[in-house]
């Protein structure tokens, strides 16, 4: 298979390169850039010396359409314009930006502050939370790869909501992310001396992943759900841990909660149900495509603590994108992704 | 004033030394240890070479009683036995452990798994959340210095509860702490290679600070309140940030929430009401006795996000203890504590 | 191939598991432990849930001999006793400890403070600095895998010494390592709160890697060389960067120094000669088997700065061990090791 | 005393504010900025809310001259133009930039790439390595505050050079710094995700502190000395540790080396001679004005390892500047600087 990446210079792009390089079914990889075409990739990213030295290419529709699969790891607002003319032209498309995740165009425009993708293309796109939508992904010409926070949140919450074990009406989701989620562009908020040894909260009640999470939860809850969702910056590079809180439905037990998660993911190797709280942490999934989930009922209050943990750059971005590619292309979903977490 | 510290070798003890050393009214400082008497303190802690070289002394009641003020920075279960015979014997007592924080002895024994302090001594002790109980602290022979998490949580929540702006019946508190809160004893859970680059959750629904927070909130709510409270470990050394979530009472506005905090703390320099979310973070209080508080109403859901930030070793331990000492001894509460946060 | 690891619970062992799991020629992996036999591996290391769940086995000579290849990742003093009876019994042996690295038994006993391995077994063992000794490794029954520091130092220095471009008589090597080099056992020196934000020097002039480096350099210098070598602890988990200083021989130019490195490693993909100083750093090799080398002549002083960078757990331990296994077993040296550095 | 800071928005400026705020003899503090006059300081740096809220002022010569003491914490090339007209106009001047450190104007222009300060003003300026030049500082109108690296290097090396215990002809200095030394301006090289978990070397043989160190060493060596000096970036915020290597003169013993350091600094409280290698590390001086020095002779090679450790922002910048101010103003040198290191 011939693969391409548009916008490879971001961290999502770097992780796509890392995994595609060792993917047994990918024989060639081309990198496209609007602003840096012609530059050697390893001159910019020295860790790829001897691995990815070739220069980036200009974005050319015909070239892109001739590939088997194309990933876009671009800022919001790019693929909504770039992808419509490429859909069904040959290459399978996988978009890592938020442009095709929200079916509600007004919601996109409100939360992203940009024009939404065309309605007809949106309707063709499939939300690629792989474990939940593999059947649709299989036939999709365009996959909207989920956001990093929504991946950790939805994989841990959806089973409990679908099976009506928790009450979705007062759902508090407190999420924490490593700094790589902010991308590769320097700013005061990611300047080492001011980020190191600092735990902070950001975008209070304003994160653009809120409507994405609500869209998926509402679908399974069977009603419109408004969540409380906040995000924090952790002084580390990789990893997301999302802690959610909800009242359980009357009579629900800890055993039922755990069983629900275990049954849901029995056939899905990348989601692991962890029952030892000491084994829940971002370093347990670091560098890998795993999502670890955990649930604990507090008998005193009747509320459950539900945790989802991922590497934001892998299961939360590049890894899940390749998992979707595998499904789109009829491969085993774990092809090329079967790596062991680094832990340390 | 002559001061003493029992259990000075812990991190709370180190911070007491740091601040007492520069306290203008403290003329001498003696360190007591049951297990390490006779050892030079700076041989153990090299950063104190030339500053605190004198050997530690054995714990002797007469010597301790002869001091003006004595801090205990000992594990749970020590001062409940050591302090009763010292109360009203001369030295003002300030306990940094949890032994005198809970008026309900059964709750202490349930959450701490140890025998509670005697009822009569408990009744004499005063809970030293300084900004809220300065009048009682002033006359106290024994101050129970608040826990680190409760300090961050209560300073941010109590004004809103007292003034009935938020509903205490579904209160979710998601707290995060740097690793110094785990103390100075090495363990797998604080081993650098497994702690670095790892964000984790611990003691789910089981933290011993839960009854301490509930005791204070219930008092101001006028009813027994059961909270949801969870704690996370952040890969950094100092700092606590607690994010709380509650439904606001009907009609309450963002302006009212902020005004409530500002009015409550107008005369309390160590609690700062921050209105710029970009200025909320643990490095803004690092090394100092400040507690920064922040509130944001989400109009979409009618829920408020309330944040409290402290340096767990200062406002959450040694700093607040000295603030209490100042009040007990009739000094300005900021004496010796007026240091600027390090930020970087 | 059937592989086994003795002492798999250390960090070297974890990395062996990580790479052997994805090695295309390794069909089974057994873990042996003297003290933890019978325990599930993933119960101890949660990141391996679903990956390496099987219990560890007791150390049994017959079982071990029946394997194709056996790695020992044990403390000093273990394999000197365990391996002699296993040599030439079937399984290829690769020792990650220092027990077979020094041909001079007296030197071993002086620097390690333990009894040396038997002389006859030492003579059979091959020092597995793969790029320099592949021919000998090919036929070896027992490979002494190099130490982490020596790997970074020797790969950067040996070409320049062999080709007499630098003067080995006043060689200063200033090395820095991440904390994972200290292993997985908690201690005050690796306690997070005292290790984080601390850069320190340790084992001044006493590191047991000194004789290992001197043995290799002396061989290529053609004379006994005494080096100055010091080690520092960097507040990060992975990575070694060694900075060496030497006078260049009269007339030697920067171009000659670079060319010497480039020619030496032209056919060795895992050693990369980097010419852009901004691309020299431990994150450029993180998680991978690369060693990056760099040299810069200071015209003012006639001295060269020579840098070697590795991931101490990969090229400095498990990666190089598998590289040696590949050579011993007639595979391409990069089989199963062809992973891209994480960078972030 | 009325104090002022020009260029207060850098990290050196922040530390000046931190210490001047608690200096007992400083009654007022004015901040000057060319580009940000009129802006509230705490709006930019939230950790100073309630502490330093006043707006910055434009740079006005008359206002500045009317103060008792003025610090400049500006980029290279600013004070060489700003200070000449202010010398002897009233305010004592302390320059934290490199503009007045090199008496050799050609060397300044070569290493800094900017025009040097006027010769006559240079001659009036005093190099403020306080422990070595207090007599000259006392009468100085203009103090050139030493660079961060030179402070750590010179305080550890000068005693041994002055007393001819080490040979200055082959001096290798390998220095390591936390990231705060790079200042507060975001760049790719200080972007958190690429700086964290990365140890790197930079400015190989090109650091502008080389001539500053050589100037001081040459003076005490009695001959022109060319050093080898390299700098590394450590993934931590504060701290410098410099490791120097030199041959000792024949017959010199470890005891003599230690005694030389101890005698030199017997009356200087801010330089501590540490004899326990386990107590040498940047966290032992963090946040304080101490410089810890250590020496170890390697009997095998006849070479000494000499270590100097400072907090780059305190003893390496703001702390030493205030120490100089104290001396210039006839105060005890430790006034306002007598703070205990944070350690954790």
A305 and A160 co-located in one domain: yes
- C234 in reach of chain D (CB within 8 A): yes
Query: C134: Cβ–Cβ under 8 A, 6 or more apart, which residues?
Result: C327, C333
With cut-offs at 50, 70 and 90, classify the pLDDT of residue C34.
confident
CB–CB of A197 and B281 under 8 A?
Answer: no
CB–CB of A192 and D190 under 8 A?
Answer: yes
B91-146 tens-digit pLDDT: 999 999 999 999 999 999 999 999 999 999 999 999 999 999 999 999 999 999 99
Instruction: Tell me how close the Cα of B80 comes to any Cα of chain A, in angstroms.
Output: 27
Total domains present in chain C: 2
Q: Taking residues C273-300, what's their average pLDDT?
A: 98
CB–CB of C195 and B192 under 8 A?
Answer: yes
D76 and D216 co-located in one domain: no
Per the prediction, chain A carries an average pLDDT of 97
Query: B79: Cβ–Cβ under 8 A, 6 or more apart, which residues?
Result: B72, B95, B97, B99, B100, B117
C115-146 tens-digit pLDDT: 999 999 999 999 999 999 999 999 999 999 99
D279-337 tens-digit pLDDT: 999 999 999 999 999 999 999 999 999 999 999 999 999 999 999 999 999 999 999 99
Which helix (H) or strand (E) is C231 found in, with range? strand C228-233
A212-267 tens-digit pLDDT: 999 999 999 999 999 999 999 999 999 999 999 999 999 999 999 999 999 999 99
Gyration radius (Cα) of chain D, Å: 20
CB–CB of A11 and D193 under 8 A?
Answer: yes
- Closest Cα to residue A102, out of A87, A122, A130? A122
State both tokens at B316. 């959450």
CB–CB of D191 and A196 under 8 A?
Answer: no
C176-233 tens-digit pLDDT: 999 999 999 999 999 999 999 999 999 999 999 999 999 999 999 999 999 999 999 9
Res B201: pLDDT: 98
Asked if residues A327 and A137 have their Cβ atoms less than 8 Å apart, the reply is yes
Residue B291: active-site member: no
The greatest distance separating any two alpha carbons of chain A, rounded to the nearest whole angstrom, comes to: 63
pLDDT at B35 over 90: no
Nearest residue of chain A to residue B205 (CA atoms): A298
Q: Spell out the SS3 assignment of chain A.
A: CEEEEECCCCHHHHHHHHHHHCCCCCCEEEEECCCCCCCEHHHHCHHHCCCCCCECECCCHHHHHCCCEEEECCCCCCHHHHCCCCCCCCCEEEECCCCCCCCCHHHHHHHHCCCCCCHHHHHHCEECCHHHHHHHHHCCCEEECCCHHHHHHHHHHHHHHHCCCECHHHCEEEEEECHHHHCCCCCHHHEHHHHCCCCEEECCCCCCHHHHHHHHHHHHHCCCCCCEEEEEECCCCCCEEEEEEEEECCCCCHHHHHHHHHHHCCCCCCEEECCCHHHCEHHHCCCCCCEEEEEEEECCCCEEEEEEEECCCHHHHHHHHHHHHHHHCCCCCCCCCCCCCCCC
Q: Is the ipTM of this complex over 0.95?
A: yes
Closest partner residue to A226 (CB to CB) among B228, B286, B300 is B300
Strand order in the sheet with B92-95: B28-32, B2-6, B69-72, B92-95, B142-144, B126-127
Size of interface A-B (CB pairs under 8 A): 150
B42 and B141 co-located in one domain: yes
Supply the angle between the helices D319-328 and D11-21 in degrees, to the nearest 10.
50
Which helix (H) or strand (E) is D65 found in, with range? helix D61-65
Asked if residues B212 and B151 have their Cβ atoms less than 8 Å apart, the reply is no
Identify whether D336 is part of a domain: no
D321 and D288 co-located in one domain: no
Res D64: pLDDT: 96
With cut-offs at 50, 70 and 90, classify the pLDDT of residue C57.
very high
Which structural domain range is residue B308 located in?
149-312
B246-263 tens-digit pLDDT: 999 999 999 999 999 999
CB–CB of C339 and A197 under 8 A?
Answer: no
Contacts of B187 in chain C (CB under 8 A): 186
Identify whether B334 is part of a domain: no
A75 and A218 co-located in one domain: no
Contacts of D213 in chain C (CB under 8 A): none
Contacts of D343 in chain C (CB under 8 A): 194
CB–CB of C301 and D174 under 8 A?
Answer: no
Nearest residue of chain A to residue D11 (CA atoms): A193
Res D217: pLDDT: 98
Contacts of A9 in chain D (CB under 8 A): none
State both tokens at C120. 């006859």
Identify whether C344 is part of a domain: no
User: Mutating which of A42, A46, A192, A285 best tests the C interface, going by the most C Cβ atoms within 10 A?
Assistant: A46
Contacts of A49 in chain C (CB under 8 A): 272, 274, 279, 292
Tell me which residues of chain A, numbers 241 to 300, contact chain D at a CB-CB cutoff of 8 Å.
none
User: Mutating which of B199, B210, B280, B343 best tests the A interface, going by the most A Cβ atoms within 10 A?
Assistant: B199
A118-159 tens-digit pLDDT: 999 999 999 999 999 999 999 999 999 999 999 999 999 999
Contacts of D182 in chain A (CB under 8 A): 193
Instruction: Tell me how close the Cα of D34 comes to any Cα of chain A, in angstroms.
Output: 20
pLDDT at A34 over 90: no
Res A226: pLDDT: 97
Extended beta strands in D248-341, E state: 271-273, 291-298, 303-310
Closest partner residue to C305 (CB to CB) among D204, D277, D298 is D204
Identify whether D339 is part of a domain: no
Which helix (H) or strand (E) is D175 found in, with range? strand D172-177
Nearest residue of chain D to residue A190 (CA atoms): D192
From residue B255, give the alpha-carbon distance in Å to each of B244, B267, B295: 18, 20, 10
Res D1: pLDDT: 96
Q: How many CB atoms lie within 10 A of CB C104?
A: 14
Upper half-sphere CA count for residue B110 (Cβ side, 13 Å): 11
Res D34: pLDDT: 86
Identify whether B268 is part of a domain: yes
Chains near B with 3+ CB pairs less than 8 A apart are A, C, D
With cut-offs at 50, 70 and 90, classify the pLDDT of residue B34.
confident
Which helix (H) or strand (E) is B21 found in, with range? helix B11-21
User: Mutating which of A192, A236, A283, A286 best tests the D interface, going by the most D Cβ atoms within 10 A?
Assistant: A192
A169-222 tens-digit pLDDT: 989 999 999 999 999 999 999 999 999 999 999 999 999 999 999 999 999 999
Instruction: Tell me how close the Cα of B303 comes to any Cα of chain C, in angstroms.
Output: 36
Identify whether A336 is part of a domain: no
Contacts of A235 in chain B (CB under 8 A): 234-236
Identify whether C272 is part of a domain: yes
A189 and A248 co-located in one domain: yes
Chains near A with 3+ CB pairs less than 8 A apart are B, C, D
Res A325: pLDDT: 98
- B180 in reach of chain C (CB within 8 A): yes
From residue A224, give the alpha-carbon distance in Å to each of A215, A227, D89: 8, 10, 72
State both tokens at C155. 């790969």
Per the prediction, chain D carries an average pLDDT of 97
Q: Any idea which of B307-311, C76-80, D27-31, D36-40 has the lowest mean pLDDT?
A: D36-40
Residue with tokens 């964290």: D196
Contacts of A11 in chain D (CB under 8 A): 193
Q: Taking residues A52-78, what's their average pLDDT?
A: 96
C209 and C264 co-located in one domain: yes
With cut-offs at 50, 70 and 90, classify the pLDDT of residue B218.
very high
- Closest Cα to residue B4, out of B121, B82, B76, B81? B82
Percentage of chain B modeled with pLDDT above 90? 99
Contacts of C200 in chain D (CB under 8 A): 241, 280-282
CATH code: domain of residue D166:
3.30.360.10
Instruction: Tell me how close the Cα of C207 comes to any Cα of chain A, in angstroms.
Output: 24
State both tokens at D126. 């005093």
B126 and B188 co-located in one domain: no
CB–CB of C199 and D239 under 8 A?
Answer: yes
Q: How far apart are CA C136 and CA C127, in angstroms?
A: 8
Res A50: pLDDT: 97
CATH code: domain of residue D112:
3.40.50.720
B223 and B322 co-located in one domain: no
Size of interface B-C (CB pairs under 8 A): 60
D122 and D215 co-located in one domain: no
Per the prediction, chain C carries an average pLDDT of 97
Nearest residue of chain B to residue A226 (CA atoms): B301
Q: Taking residues D49-62, what's their average pLDDT?
A: 96
- A18 in reach of chain C (CB within 8 A): yes
Percentage of chain D modeled with pLDDT above 70? 100
Contacts of B245 in chain A (CB under 8 A): 172, 174, 228, 245
B236 and B122 co-located in one domain: no
Upper half-sphere CA count for residue A242 (Cβ side, 13 Å): 28
CB–CB of B49 and D180 under 8 A?
Answer: no
pLDDT at C35 over 90: no
* Alpha-helical runs (H) found in chain C: 11-21, 41-44, 61-65, 79-82, 105-112, 119-124, 130-138, 148-162, 192-195, 210-221, 254-264, 319-328
C174 and C127 co-located in one domain: no
CB–CB of C237 and B197 under 8 A?
Answer: yes
pLDDT at B310 over 90: yes
Q: Collapse the DSSP code of D233 into the 3-class scheme (helix H, G, I; strand E, B; otherwise coil) and give the result.
A: strand
Nearest residue of chain C to residue A270 (CA atoms): C50
Identify whether A343 is part of a domain: no
CB–CB of D343 and B14 under 8 A?
Answer: yes
Q: Which residues of D are catalytic?
A: 148
CB–CB of C238 and A344 under 8 A?
Answer: yes
With cut-offs at 50, 70 and 90, classify the pLDDT of residue D35.
confident
């Amino acid at each position: 298979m011939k693969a391409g990446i548009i916008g490879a210079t971001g961290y999502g792009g770097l992780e796509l390169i890392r995994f595609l390089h060792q993917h047994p079914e990918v024989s060639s990889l081309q990198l496209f850039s609007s602003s840096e075409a012609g530059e050697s990739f390893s001159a910019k990213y020295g860790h790829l010396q001897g691995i990815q030295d070739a220069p980036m290419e200009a974005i050319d529709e015909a070239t892109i359409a001739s590939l088997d699969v194309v990933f876009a790891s671009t800022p919001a607002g790019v693929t909504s314009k770039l992808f419509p003319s490429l859909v069904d032209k040959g290459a399978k498309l996988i978009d890592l930006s938020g442009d095709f995740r929200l079916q509600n165009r007004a919601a996109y425009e409100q939360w992203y502050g940009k024009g939404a993708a065309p309605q007809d293309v949106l309707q063709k796109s499939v939300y690629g939370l792989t474990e939940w939508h593999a059947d649709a992904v299989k036939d999709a010409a365009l996959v909207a790869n989920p956001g990093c926070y929504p991946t950790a949140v939805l994989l841990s919450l959806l089973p409990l909501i679908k099976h009506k074990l928790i009450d979705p009406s007062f759902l508090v989701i407190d999420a924490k992310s490593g700094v790589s989620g902010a991308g590769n562009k320097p700013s005061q908020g990611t300047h080492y001396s001011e980020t190191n040894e600092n735990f902070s909260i950001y975008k209070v009640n304003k994160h653009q992943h809120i409507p994405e999470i609500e869209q998926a939860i509402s679908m399974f809850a069977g009603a419109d759900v408004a969540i409380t969702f906040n995000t924090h910056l952790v002084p580390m590079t990789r990893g997301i841990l999302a802690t959610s809180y909800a009242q359980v439905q009357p009579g629900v037990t800890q055993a039922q909660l755990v069983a629900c998660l275990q049954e849901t993911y029995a056939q899905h190797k990348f989601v692991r149900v962890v029952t030892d709280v000491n084994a829940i942490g971002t370093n347990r999934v670091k560098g890998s495509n795993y999502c670890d989930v955990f649930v604990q009922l507090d008998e005193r209050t009747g509320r459950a603590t539900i945790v989802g943990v991922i590497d934001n750059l892998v299961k939360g971005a590049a890894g899940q994108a390749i998992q979707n590619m595998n499904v789109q292309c009829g491969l085993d979903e774990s092809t090329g992704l079967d790596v062991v977490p680094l832990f340390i």
